[in-house]
Structure 1
Amino acid sequence: MSTHPHAPQSHVHDTLVVGGGPGGLTAAIYLRRFTRDVALVDKGNSRLRLIPVSHNYPGFPEGVPGTTLLGNLTAQLERYGGTVTHGEILGLRIEDGVFVADCLPEGAPDDARREIRAHTVLLATGVADAGLPIEMWREAIAFGSVRLCPVCDGFDVMDKHIAVATSEVNPVGHALFMRTFSAEVTLFERMSPTALTDDDRRRLAAAGVRLVDSPLLSVTLDASMKPVLHTEDGQEHGADVFYPMLGENARSGLAAKLGAETAQCEEIVVDVHGATSVPGLYAIGDVTVGLNQIAVATGQAARAATHIHNRLPPALRTASTRPPSPGTTM
């Protein structure tokens, strides 16, 4: 059984997984353990690579670096005969009831595209963060002075001076959420004119959240790698940690072009099994509507992979050539 996406074009895989983050790798592991023929293509944009240490992923009491978790999942997939192809899926279409993906391997010229055919496709393509000028952004995230997920690591910044920027969808919600972890929370407006309502201001005041009305322009780092927030009125504001609440857009273009239903921030609408509105097309993790968490993505992967396996024609085995496990008898 071929598991490699560079198989002949006439070959049809059971499933093409697009995205090699925790969700995509977990789905591929499940499918390989179901003996399914899987192709996995990863562009290398998993946000997990940005996480210096995750303390809220189950089973790692001392925390786990994002790169370590990705490495462990990749090694586990390889244990079951799966591989990760580094490259990009540039297009996805349906021909004669089969999904056909245009794959450009990493480092290859544009004319070196290859087609990958599959009966089903599972998208685990994640999201792309929107922008806010932050000096040495990646270094600040690695150091822990800039953080992206209050749900993930609010506990880890207990009692620190926390700065939060307003977001378009829920301008004060994240600042109020962080009051669970610190008495010193400052919310910075980044829109002019302000998007805050009188009710928003009352809620902030009642919770003891300081509000800086002058729009936030940029963020630099001081000598100790702590954030310094620069506002339109020329003031500088120091903090221990900054949550920019950048906003994000789901990498859902492949699904949208096939007619899959999307919602706010271009997130893909799926059912409980991860199925989209396009038959045979599935999506899991941050690219879908819901809570963006590693544990959520891996749980969705397990459910979607099991559903895909049960919907595909049975993978019937011939006589086994696998040697017996130690201690067993024939």
Structure 2
Amino acid sequence: MATLALVQHHCIMALNDELYDVLIVGGGPGGLTAATYLRRFRRSVAVIDKGHSRLSLIPVSHNYPGFPDGVNGAELLERMRTQLRHYGGEVHDGEVLELTRSGDLCFVARTSIGEVRARTVLLASGVIDGGMPMERWHEAVACGAIRLCPVCDGYDVKGKKVGVLACEQKPVNHALFLRTYCEHVTLFDREKQSEYSDTDRERLQAGQVRHIASPCVCVTLTDDMKPVVHTADGEEFQFDVVYPMLGETARSTLAVSLGAEVTDCEKLLVDHKQQTTVPGLFAVGDVVRGLNQIAVATGQAAVAATCIHNALPARYA
């Protein structure tokens, strides 16, 4: 314990002593990719991560480039951390609690491991998923009984019996998307009845998606890890897979406190360089308006890191 405390003390001292070129908030795929690019540009980078990356929940991803047999989310995170270490970078375990400006040349972050000063900031802080009554959540996600992203893994549930919990916005879209892969798709409302237009109902009928009017109140698991949707009228429906479509809220509070503009779900608006409406403040990944995908986050990170490097004062060998 004494050794750990000493390491943490030295870490805090090191963070406090330097004006970094870039502070990166979040150590998921976007943050780690940006950090690797910036270290290869020979920039000083502080990465602070509190360990809540959604990537760690993914049992296997089959659509991330370069892994034809798929890759476990936690393994991919560790591979990316290892790659960053090859270029002298590291991830500091902690949380950024407050972000302010100090004049025009510096951001100041108050964190759980000390104060960090940086010329620019890149947010890769992701989103917070909405909740639902669900037993053994992590086990269900780990075995694929509960899945979170039809775009990511709809192909992997081909031919299975699938239940979908409607989201508030565009409630029928995910169910219809999954009909691309599955003959038997059932759509449930949440406790609060979703709003359906006549067009929505026509689309469900045309797509042969079964719609259960009584809303879902919880999801349980059988002994063999099959998800069971329970509705308000006391009925039970068993499936191979359930997509809860939880809804989300972006972790954009730090940017908003500096005046950054947001859109639906508190997601940040950025320009073609991934810069928010606050000069020097960049954002990538799920915290930004757009498609939530690992490949998207890493692509945005490459753009942002290159633009940040070009905007900073030149560093010559």
After TM superposition, give the deviation of residue 8 of structure 1 in Å. Answer: 6.1
Over 3 Å counting, the alpha-carbon distance change for 1:41 and 1:8 in structure 2 is closer
Residues 5 and 40, structure 1, Cα contact 8 Å, conserved in 2: no
Q: 2:23 aligns with which of 10, 16, 21?
A: 16
Number of aligned residue pairs: give it.
Answer: 306
Equivalent position SS for 1:58: coil
- Pairwise CA distance, 1:190: 1.3
Amino acid at match of 1:257: S
Report the 3-state secondary structure (helix = DSSP H, G, I; strand = E; otherwise coil) of the residue aligned with 2:32. Answer: helix
Q: Structure 1: how far apart are the matches of 2:145 and 2:18?
A: 49
In the other structure, the counterpart of 1:128 is: 128
Partner SS, residue 7 of structure 1: helix
Q: What is the aligned counterpart of 1:103 among 104, 111, 114?
A: 111
Structure 2 partner of 1:26: 33
The one of 44, 50, 65 equivalent to 2:51 is 44
Cα distance in 1 for residues equivalent to 2:312 and 2:259: 22
| Contact 1:17–1:39 (8 Å) recurs in 2 | yes
Following superposition, the deviation at residue 11 of structure 1 comes to: 2.5
The alignment partner of 2:94 has SS state of strand
- Is 1:217 the counterpart of 2:224 in the alignment? no
Alignment partner, residue 236 of structure 2: 236
Superposed CA deviations along residues 130-157 of structure 1, whole A, max 9, x for unmatched, are 0111111111000000000000000000
| Higher alpha-carbon deviation: 195-204 or 255-264 | 195-204
**1:94 corresponds to which letter in structure 2?**
R
SS of structure 1 residue aligned to 2:95:
strand
Aligned-residue Cα RMSD (Å) equals 1.1
Residue in 2 that maps onto 1:115: 115
Give the structure 2 partner of residue 302 of structure 1. Answer: 302
Query: In structure 1, how many angstroms separate the alpha carbons of the residues matched to 2:15 and 2:265?
Result: 37
1:193 Cα offset (Å): 4.0
Matched with 1:154 is: 154
Residue 251 of structure 2 is matched in structure 1 by 251
Between the aligned partners of 1:315 and 1:7, the Cα distance in structure 2 is: 21
TM superposition shift of 1:198: 2.3
Counterpart of 2:263 in structure 1 is 263
Letter in 1 for 2:126: G
**TM-score when scaled to structure 1?**
0.91
Task: Flag as ranges the 4+ runs of structure 1 deviating above 2 A.
Answer: 4-11, 191-194
SS in structure 1 of the partner of residue 303 of structure 2: helix
Shift in Å at residue 209 of structure 1?
0.3
2 CA distance for matches of 1:6 and 1:88? Answer: 16
Identity of aligned residues (%): 58
Structure 1 residues 207 and 89, CA gap change in structure 2 (3 angstroms): same
Give me the whole-angstrom Cα distance separating, in 1, the residues matched to 2:15 and 2:251.
Answer: 28
State the partner residue of 2:166.
Answer: 166
Corresponding position: 1:82 with 2:113: no
**SS in structure 2 of the partner of residue 16 of structure 1:** strand
Matches within 5 A, 1:176-187: 176-187=176-187
Residue 290 of structure 1 is matched in structure 2 by: 290
Structure 1 residue 273: Cα displacement: 1.0
Please give the per-residue CA displacement for 1:98-126, whole angstroms capped at 9, x wherever unaligned.
10001113xxxxxxxx1100000000000
> In structure 2, what is the equivalent of residue 71 of structure 1?
78
Rg larger for: 1
TM-score for the superposition, normalised by structure 2: 0.95
Taking the aligned partners of 1:129 and 1:70, their CA distance within structure 2 comes to 20
The equivalent of 1:207 in structure 2 is 207
Secondary structure at the aligned position of 2:43 is classed as coil
What is the alpha-carbon distance in structure 2 between the residues aligned to residue 85 and residue 151 of structure 1? Answer: 31
CA contact (8 A) 1:5 1:39 kept: no
User: Structure 1 residue 223: deviation in Å?
Assistant: 1.1
Residue 55, structure 1, aligned to residue 62, structure 2: yes
3-state secondary structure, aligned to 2:21: strand
Q: Distance in 1 between matches of 2:16 and 2:74?
A: 33
Change (3 A) 1:307 1:227: same
